[in-house]
Amino acid sequence: MSPREAARRRWARVAWIYGLLLTFGVFFVGPFLMGFLASLKPDPLEWPFTLRFAQVSPKNWAAAWRLGRAGSGDPWLGGMRPGREVVLEVAYFWPEDTPPPLEAAVPRRRPGAGMGAVFETPYAADHVRLLGPELVEKAPARLGEKEGYAYRFRLRVVYPGEGPFLERVPLDLEAPRGALYLGATLDPTRFERRGRVASWDNVVPGFVGYVFHNYVRAFREARSLETGESLFLRWTLNSFFLAAVKVITTLVFASMAGYALARLRFPGRQALFLFMLFSMMVPGQVTFISNYLVLKDGIFGLSKLFGVETLLNTYTGLILSGLVGAGAVFIMRQFFESIPREVEEAALIDGATPWQTLFRIVLPMSTPALGAVAILTFQGTWNEFFWPFVVLTSPREIYTLPLGLLSFRNAYGQVGDWGLILAGGFFSMVPVLVLFAVFQRYFVEGVSVGALKE
């Protein structure tokens, strides 16, 4: 075989391998990408599913930015303040020589269903005035086999005098039968009555308010009845807090327990290790009743010494019941077993105690295992649903994000508002993906690279 043919075969094998990896990547990333795109749509259940819709159009991005800045001075989240005016243009095809009669109105429409319908918010219809539609251009046009005229109209939304800040200004524009929509400054959110009514949920959305409309709704509409703060933000912070505490306690206790099981010699060490393995085989659904009763009584009544009757509906009970998992101890124990004993013997010769050996010698060499345990613990705590669902029942302010998404399902699923539910679910995946992307090198890093010198 000639060198050129060998090189050709080698590059062919490389091409097959990379092609296979690319195929697997598209297969696994595809649903993730489709879920993200669906979360941007006003109606994620539309069929057939299309990749071209208003929220991914750069023209609409620029228009939403300009309208948000004109309405409130905030091009990101938009809204409308007193003394502001925004201009919206829309074009229709009409076969007749006279302009089509359009009817525009600012409807009294609540910001959303479910939780958003509970709070009293100012209606834009009570504060703004709509001027128009005013004909600004007429030009001959041909649409398919139809001949007619393209009419461009201008609508002005004015907020005179004084009043509250308006987060949204909805608009409905009704055209007569036979008039065909051609385009607008900002594409409508949806069409109703067989395309006769072009409806905008907000004509001053801002860039983020238009593209990530469902995400903004998740933070704005889910609010506490008592304090008015964003429940979705509170649920996210609660999950971050619990995950961070669980990661810290797991790393501390799992590293110490794993090192004791791997290196120290004491009576019952093997029996303790076997018992730990057995506990990993028992599902949590088998022991959750007994664990619930322990928390209900305040850990056999010990919490009453501190004036706490029960540990239910508290983060203390949730944290104490999961300080460390047997799986994390097992991972650390197996990793410590793979570290050469010569490193610890050298430390002992230099006068280091077991504690100093663990924290100054062994743990710095264990960053791959510590990183893997941290990621797995964070992911498990962040996505944990069953045990928090048992322990945390009220009030809603103490929910974690998975429990909050369940309340989203109960509040918005009944009215078919799946866009907000999908946005909340997709948002809950982002922290885990970011954490894995940042710390993925710990999964492939060597065990003790550079620990021993030749």
pLDDT digit string, tens, across residues 371-401: 889 988 999 999 999 999 999 998 889 999 9
User: By percentage, how much of the chain surpasses pLDDT 70?
Assistant: 94
The side-by-side arrangement of strands in the sheet containing 197-200 is 103-105, 171-174, 197-200, 190-192
Angstrom CA distances, 440 to 25, 251, 378, 451, stand at 16, 17, 14, 21
Arithmetic mean of pLDDT, 137-143: 93
Report, as an integer, the average pLDDT of 127-141. 94
Distance of alpha carbon 216 from alpha carbon 168, whole angstroms:
12
As a whole number of Å, the CA-based R_g of the chain is 31
Stretch 115-143: mean pLDDT: 88
- Tell me the C-alpha distance between 337 and 332, whole Å: 9
**Structural class in CATH, domain 231-444:** mainly alpha
- The residue among 116 and 451 whose pLDDT is bigger is 116
Asked whether residue 225 carries a pLDDT value surpassing 90, the answer given is no
Residue count of the chain: 454
With bands split at pLDDT 50, 70 and 90, how would you rate the model's confidence at 11?
confident
In this predicted structure, which of 32-41, 117-126, 291-300 has the lowest mean pLDDT? Answer: 117-126
Name the range with the highest mean pLDDT among 235-244, 342-351, 388-397.
235-244
Q: Which is higher by pLDDT, 118 or 362?
A: 362
How confident is residue 44, by pLDDT bands cut at 50, 70 and 90? confident
Q: Which residues have CB under 8 Å from 136's CB, separation 6+?
A: 89, 152, 153, 154
Which amino acid makes up residue 363? L
User: Residue 116 — pLDDT band, cuts 50, 70, 90?
Assistant: low
d(CA 162, CA 68): 19
| Token pair of 276 as six digits | 């730990």
pLDDT digits (tens, 9 = 90+) for 401-410: 999 999 888 8
pLDDT computed for residue 412 by the predictor? 84
**pLDDT single digits (tens) 81-101:** 999 999 999 999 999 999 999
pTM: 0.86
pLDDT of 450 strictly over 80:
no
Domain boundaries defined on the chain: 54-211, 231-444
Residue 205 has pLDDT above 50, yes or no: yes
pLDDT of residue 92: 96
Distance (Å, rounded) from C-alpha 408 to C-alpha 404?
Answer: 6
Handedness of CA 113, 115, 120, 124 (dihedral sign): negative
- Mean pLDDT over 414-435 rounds to 86
Q: From CA 225, how far away is CA 115, in angstroms rounded? A: 10
DSSP labels for 284-337? HHHHHHHHHHHHHTTTTTGGGGGT-S--TTSHHHHHHTTS--HHHHHHHHHHHH
pLDDT tens for 264-309 read 888 998 999 999 989 888 888 888 899 999 999 988 888 888 888 8
CA 74 – CA 207 distance, rounded (Å): 9
Q: How far is CA 358 from CA 219, 261, 348, 372, in A?
A: 45, 13, 11, 18
Overall average pLDDT of the 228-241 stretch? 93
| pLDDT higher than 70, residue 120 | yes
Average pLDDT, the chain: 88
Q: Is the pLDDT of residue 446 over 70?
A: no
- pLDDT value of position 293: 92
Tens digits of residue pLDDT in 161-202: 889 999 999 999 999 999 999 999 999 999 998 889 999 999
Please determine, for residue 366, whether its predicted confidence score (pLDDT) is greater than 80: yes
Cα(185)–Cα(188) distance, integer angstroms: 9
Answer for the pair 212, 119: CB distance below 8 angstroms, yes or no. Answer: no
pLDDT of the residue at 284: 84
Instruction: Look at residue 451 in the predicted model and tell me its pLDDT.
Output: 39
